Amino acid sequence: MSMSNNIAEGSGCDSDKEFARYLNIARSSTFENANIAIILQRRNVIDEKTKKDVLDRLELLCRKISRFRTSLSF
């Protein structure tokens, strides 16, 4: 949720530069969520396949956020 919340909050910014800052925070949150998935798997809350699926989706999302950020003009 932190990723989407940062993107939503940033979309209300007055400039692309300020919005890019929120996108950076959202991108950083993908790494935080990856760490949570690893911890959950180590504690046997989720299995290895679920962890891998989550990490794959987070990697894709991270790339999308990065590409979106580079498309901004500031």
Angle at 20 between CA 19 and CA 25, to 5 degrees: 100
| Residues 15-28: b if buried by 16+ CB within 10 A, e if exposed | eeeebbebbebbbe
pLDDT digits (tens, 9 = 90+) for 17-33: 999 999 999 999 999 99
pLDDT digits (tens, 9 = 90+) for 38-73: 999 999 999 999 999 999 999 999 999 999 999 997
pLDDT digits (tens, 9 = 90+) for 57-66: 999 999 999 9
- In order of their start, the domains of the chain are 2-71 (1.20.1440.60)
